[in-house]
Structure formats: structure tokens, C-alpha cells
Amino acid sequence: MKNRTFVALLLSTAIALPAFAQEANSSSSAQPAASAAKAAPTSQSATSAGNQPLRWTREDFWDGDEPGAVWLVLHPFASKRYVRRQTAPIRDRLNELEELNSANGNQIKDVDSRAQHGIQLAASKVKDGDQHALEAANKSQLAQQAASLASTHVSRVETVVGRVDQYKVGTQTEIRFRPGQSVLNKDAKNALDEMATQLKDQHGYVIEVRGFSPGRGPAAIAASRKMADSVVRYLVLNHQIPAFRIYVVGMGNAPVPGEEGTAAKRTGSSRVEISVLKNGLDQVASTPASDASTPPK
């Protein structure tokens, strides 16, 4: 009795399993259809992105074998080939995503590298601009200093040049002669040597030579001019004083102006009065060259 009951249960199970598998297959077919409808936007988005959408197959995990107790016993689980076929599109899509991520990473690195290069180039240009601005400021300051020095020098020269025609009496020397003679004696030459030594390497001076002689008329004038010429000759030949700096006047027996409050007196002896008249040109010649600094280019 027990054996019959066990056989009956086994037969009923064998008959019920195909029907259950068929129902499961039909329900599984309905579920992928619904999931395919839900996944349509994703497939469309994937297609719009330029990639093929993932395709769903209605094959069951028995890989085409009819469901039954035998196949349920032989391979109750999905086959490797079925799993590989179902997962291959997903694996390919993952590979595509990795390639896209790698390409995007390379592009980001390239953009970052170019941005860093641009920033460094801009910083270098700014640094060069700062250096040029500093050099320009230094040159401007030097130009202002040079202009100030030049203005000071010009002002001083204008002051000196304005007094060029204003001569002041400097050294005065008197040379005496014996009556009727025009030869210089030793004392006269020493006096002229001392005066000429003081005028060496100087500028802005003239020498006035006035001869006086007793007597009257043209004879006295001629005698006084002869004595003055002997003085001029000695200065020109022995001390190389330019002749254009010497002014000679034969006064004869002309009256000599006295001091303030006294009347003029006529000369009573043969003599030559030598006066050195100076202006401000020697100050211009002695001005250092550094005072006339020129502005930098």
C-alpha cells in the first residue's frame, strides 16, 4: 500500500512539473515584456547617445530546451553560455564607459595643462611688464634729476653771461720810465712777469695799457704811445698773451682824475699804467662738466 502511494505521488509530481514550468515560462515572458516597455526610454537615450541599446532575449535559462523533469534534473540552473550571452552586452557597455571615462580624463588633463601654461605665460608677461614699468620709473627719475641739474647750470650761466660786459678792475701795475726813454728795466720786467703769471690759463679778462708822458701836444702823445707799445710787445712775445686782449692808449699829458673831491692833475713823469679788467667768463670756463649733465636717452 505504501509503495503504491509513493508511485502515485511521483507520477503526479512528474505531470505537475511541466505545467508549472510552462506557467513560469509564460509569466517570465510577460515580465520581460513589461520591463522592456519600462526600459524603452533608457534604450532610446542610449540610441540617442550613439550607442546600440541593450537587447533582451526571450530565451529561458534552459537555453531552448523544453522544460521538463528530465531537464530540470540535468541542469536546474542557467547554463554558462546563456549567462555569457546575456552579460556580454553589459560587459561591452561597461568597456565603452571605461573608454569614455579615460578619454574624458585625458581631455581634462590636456585642458588643465593648457590652462596652467596660459597662466604661467600671463604671469611671465605681468612680471615683464612690472620690470619695464620699474625701468621706466627709474629713467624718469634720472631724467628729472638731470633736468634739474641742467636748469641750475643754465640759470648760473645766464647770470654770469649777463655780466660779461661788466668788467671789474683787478690787478693794477705802474711802470716808470726815464724821460725820453721807452726801454723796460729789470724792475719793470719783474712787475710785468708777476702780473702775466697771474693771468695764465684764465679767461674773461682784458688788459688796458695807458701811457703818460710830460710835455704838450702830439709829441707827448707819441712818446706815451711808444712806452705803452714796449709794454705790449713784452707781454705778447714773452708771455703769449693774445693781442686782442690788450687795449693801448697813448694819453700824452692828459690830466689824471684824482680821488673823489679832488681836482684832476696833469702827469709830471713818464710812466705806463696797466690795469687788468675781468668779467665772469672765467667762472663759466671753470664750471665742472658734471654740472651740465645731459638727460638719459
- What is the reported pLDDT for 51? 57
**Bridge-partner residues for 208, per DSSP?**
247, 275
Mean pLDDT of 268-293: 68
Mean pLDDT of 104-114: 91
**Ramachandran region, residue 181 (left: φ > 0; alpha: ψ -120 to 50; beta: rest):** beta
pLDDT tens for each residue of 23-63: 454 444 444 444 444 444 444 444 445 556 655 555 555 55
Cα 63 from Cα 81, distance rounded (Å) = 8
Q: Which CATH architecture has domain 168-256+264-285?
A: 2-Layer Sandwich (3.30)
Alpha carbon distances (Å) from 212 to 31, 150, 184? 152, 49, 15
- What is the reported pLDDT for 45? 44
Around Cβ 142, how many Cβ atoms within 10 Å? 13
Cα 270 from Cα 221, distance rounded (Å) = 11
Confidence of residue 138 (pLDDT cuts 50, 70, 90): very high
Coil, helix or strand for 278? strand
pLDDT tens for each residue of 168-213: 888 889 999 988 888 999 999 999 999 999 888 888 889 999 999 9
pLDDT tens for each residue of 231-278: 999 999 999 999 999 999 998 888 766 544 444 555 568 899 999 988
- What is the reported pLDDT for 33? 44
Alpha carbon distances (Å) from 57 to 29, 30, 32, 36, 251? 10, 12, 9, 10, 146
Alpha carbon distances (Å) from 40 to 46, 50, 87, 256? 10, 15, 19, 138
pLDDT at 293 over 60: no
Confidence of residue 78 (pLDDT cuts 50, 70, 90): low
Tell me the average pLDDT of the chain.
75
Mean pLDDT of 56-76: 54
Highest-pLDDT range among 8-17, 36-45, 174-183, 288-297: 174-183
Cα 126 → chain centroid: 12
- What is the reported pLDDT for 90? 87
Angle at 244 between CA 241 and CA 248, to 5 degrees: 90
- What is the reported pLDDT for 53? 60
**Bridge-partner residues for 190, per DSSP?**
none
- What is the reported pLDDT for 207? 93
HSE-CB of 210 using CA atoms within 13 angstroms: 15
pLDDT at 165 over 50: yes
Mean pLDDT of 279-287: 58
% residues pLDDT > 70 (the chain): 60
Mean pLDDT of 9-22: 55
Cα 73 → chain centroid: 92
